[in-house]
Structure 1
Amino acid sequence: MNARPILRELIAFDTSTPNSNLPLVHFVANLLDRPGCTIRLSYDDSRSKANLICAVGPTGEDGILLSGHSDVVGVDGQAWTGNPFVLRETAGRLYGRGACDMKGFIACCLERMIKLSPDRLRRPLYLALSYDEELGCVGVPRLIADLQHNFPRPALAIVGEPTQMRVVSAHKGVFVMRTSFRGRAAHSSNPAAGLSAIDYAHRFVAFLADLAEEFKEQRSRSGVAPPYTTLNVGTIQGGTSLNTVAPSCTLVWEFRPIPEVDGHAICGRVERFIDNLRQEMRDIVPDADAVNERLGIAFPLRWEANSSAEASVERLTGSAVIPTAVPFGTDAGYFQAAGIPTLVMGPGSIEQAHQPDEWIAASELQAATDFLDRVAAAIAN
């Protein structure tokens, strides 16, 4: 099988984040299962989703790991001109949900791994697929734990997010948060009889707005754009009716720290502010509450001088790597935090990701296939 029919199969699995990815994972496992391959799955708590690691060839710490995420964003509310889960090709473009982000890269990896003869490799090659990356890199910590416990540490990880096959050596992190306030309902004719959760949410949003302005004062030297930590409140839901003091309000928000910033320290500041609000609320209504939850975290990818990852890719491509940064987050920071030299490099353009009629150029698939052929040649006997 070459990349196109594999991509057709992958896109046919609706792995939108609310859905299970197990049908796709089992398809991949069956495709790769043969002597000389070791396949492991690590599940989420519900066992409805799983990461996959496939190792081909000998054991050793000099392996190359290819990484992708199996989930895709949903299509609800998008105006597609065809079925999002049926691959179609027009004028050199392949359309389908996930074609660009990032099933195109996975299809190229599978094509290459199917063709490999495990007994002819002198270094191991790994394929790692994570779940729920789009929700904030939810699955990759378990994937990393499985990798560390059961395999030698790879010498290089390539995360195949769409970069038009340009090497990316730095990106921002992403911290996805949910903050909930619980007050007490009362008739709006006497607001003092209740406690408005929306009022406290408003104060919290004002605090976040001040933080966002403060973040602009620290500029990154890594090339990310915009060159400062950003913050966005994505949704607010609260209240029950016009004439009722709001008993509840919930915000879902995120901040994206530049590589030089400690995202956990920002979380600490936020949680101290919420602690103060909670105490103030409970002084008025004893069972009031304010709770902050971390829904997902993508670590930043930090540029490393004299990176062995960049040196490895330079040897494979035969050309010098020009360090590039991107503003979006990936699983790459987790591999780097695990001590694996890591970069991001994959086919397709991020401008097509998450869009209706998502597509990847056939030429991009070919460029990825050519690169993976060089990877295979470098680890073969």
Structure 2
Amino acid sequence: MTADFHDLSVREILDRLIAFRTLCRTENAELIDWVETFLRSLGARCHRVPGKEAGQFNLFASIGPDTPDGVVLSAHSDVVPVEGQPWTTDPFVLTERDGKLYGRGSSDMKGFLACMLMAACHAARSSLRAPLHLAISHDEEIGCVGVHSLLRDLAANGFQAQGCVIGEPTGLHAVSGHKGKLAARITCHGLAAHSANPSRGCNTIGLATDMVKVIEALQEELKDAGAHDESYEVPFSTLQVGLIRGGVALNIVPDLCEVQFEMRLLPGVSPQPVLDRLRQEADRLCAQHSHARIEIETLNTYPGLHTPDRSPFLHEIMRITGDNAPSRIGFGTEGGLFHDYLDMPVVVCGPGSIDRAHKADEFILPEELNTGVRFVERIIDMLAHS
């Protein structure tokens, strides 16, 4: 390892990571170049998997023997945009003020990525009986879309490990479950007309409003009669409309209106019955209105995560964190995809707080970073010869 990398502290590593403007939907090649150089200097075996767009990459690295009983530490490299947010510091310069380290991605989740690189340093100095693997993805923030190419590649090559830690910010509590998500678009087509005689047209804002009412009714059904899990803050699956666009002028009957909605589904709950109901209601509405046509399109989906309480890997991580029982979280991660592609137990556990994510003046505390380093070093010790 070069002296330049060897001497870096976790805070110095985080400073360099935050300086890379790896906004979702943009290139992350410079960050991946730097991280790969860092890891290769430790003797890591590195493999890049390109994304769909130029300049976007996933990186997978391994240190230690080539055996199927290693542990994966995983982080996404992308961050959400900062435009329109009232930052009081430069979001791409790690800034310490009042005992806090400010910067976009400090908690979500370049803080854990910095801890991962410190873990690699510790692993390179250790005599490992099982390997450490590092997975770094792109475009997680737009629906966990970037990691698919990496996981397909690993699955095609028969990759195995005893488990994976997704280092999203949980206050370093072991999390064994979260909901899945489906994002969809309802597009209502109608007929334009002059507003002086609206009956000559087919008003798609009216159609869209009727579909919103259907979504609201389905939400009540899920709340009252759907699956429940009291370990979640919201113990049932949810639907909500987040965007609606329609009309071009007040004096024109709108012939196009778009509604976007999402489902947050308890693990194991299929979205298909809800989609089927929505299509049935869309057909019913179209039968009542000439010139009406309604399309329903899934935009993005990722699965929930449910790691069984009896999982030995979960208990190993809980032994390190000191948790007596695993937690559940409301936000999504790549964890369900790691499980589905690679059939391995997944625990979400990382430093920082999700309450600071996606906001102006995102920060992580120095002691949280240091505790994160100790956490991953104990995972390395678990992989080392006794």
TM-score > 0.5 by shorter chain: yes
Unaligned runs of 5+ in 2: 1-7
Q: Secondary structure in 2 aligned to 1:231?
A: strand
From 324, 342, 345, give the equivalent of 2:346: 342
Q: Distance in 1 between matches of 2:66 and 2:189?
A: 54
Q: Is the Cα contact below 8 Å between 1:167 and 1:321 reproduced in 2? A: no
Q: CA deviation at 1:295?
A: 2.2
In structure 1, the residue matched to 2:148 is 141
Q: Is the Cα contact below 8 Å between 1:222 and 1:303 reproduced in 2? A: no
1:257 aligns to 2:265 (yes or no): yes
Q: CA deviation at 1:80?
A: 0.6
Q: Distance in 1 between matches of 2:276 and 2:38?
A: 45
From 219, 227, 239, give the equivalent of 1:231: 239
Q: CA deviation at 1:303?
A: 4.1
Q: Secondary structure in 2 aligned to 1:116?
A: helix
Q: Is the Cα contact below 8 Å between 2:58 and 2:150 reproduced in 1? A: yes
- Within a 5 Å distance, the mapping from 1:165-176 to structure 2 comes to 165-176=172-183
What are the superposed Cα offsets for residues 241-274 of structure 1, whole Å, 9 maximum, x if unpaired?
Answer: 0000112111222111122522344334334444
Q: Distance in 2 between matches of 1:274 and 1:46?
A: 35
Q: Distance in 2 between matches of 1:113 and 1:8?
A: 18
In structure 2, the residue matched to 1:182 is 189
1:107 aligns to 2:110 (yes or no): no
Q: Is the Cα contact below 8 Å between 1:170 and 1:222 reproduced in 2? A: no
Q: Distance in 1 between matches of 2:162 and 2:282?
A: 42
Larger deviation, residues 230-239 vs 135-144? 135-144
- Within a 5 Å distance, the mapping from 1:360-379 to structure 2 comes to 360-379=364-383
Task: Indicate how the Cα distance of structure 1 residues 13 and 320 shifts in structure 2: closer, same or farther if over 3 A, else same.
Answer: closer
Letter in 1 for 2:246: G
In structure 1, the residue matched to 2:252 is 244
In structure 1, the residue matched to 2:302 is 298
Q: Distance in 1 between matches of 2:250 and 2:204?
A: 14
Q: Secondary structure in 1 aligned to 2:141?
A: helix
* Count, aligned residues: 376
Unaligned runs of 5+ in 1: none
**Where has structure 1 moved over 6 Å in runs of 4 or more?**
none
From 266, 284, 304, give the equivalent of 2:290: 284
Q: CA deviation at 1:89?
A: 0.9
Q: CA deviation at 1:333?
A: 1.1
- Within a 5 Å distance, the mapping from 1:120-159 to structure 2 comes to 120-150=127-157, 152-159=159-166
Task: Indicate how the Cα distance of structure 1 residues 225 and 314 shifts in structure 2: closer, same or farther if over 3 A, else same.
Answer: closer
Normalised by the size of structure 1, how large is the TM-score? 0.92
Q: Distance in 1 between matches of 2:14 and 2:272?
A: 38
Percent identity for Structure 1 against Structure 2: 38
Letter in 2 for 1:284: S
Q: Secondary structure in 2 aligned to 1:99?
A: coil
Q: CA deviation at 1:35?
A: 7.2
Larger deviation, residues 251-260 vs 104-113? 251-260
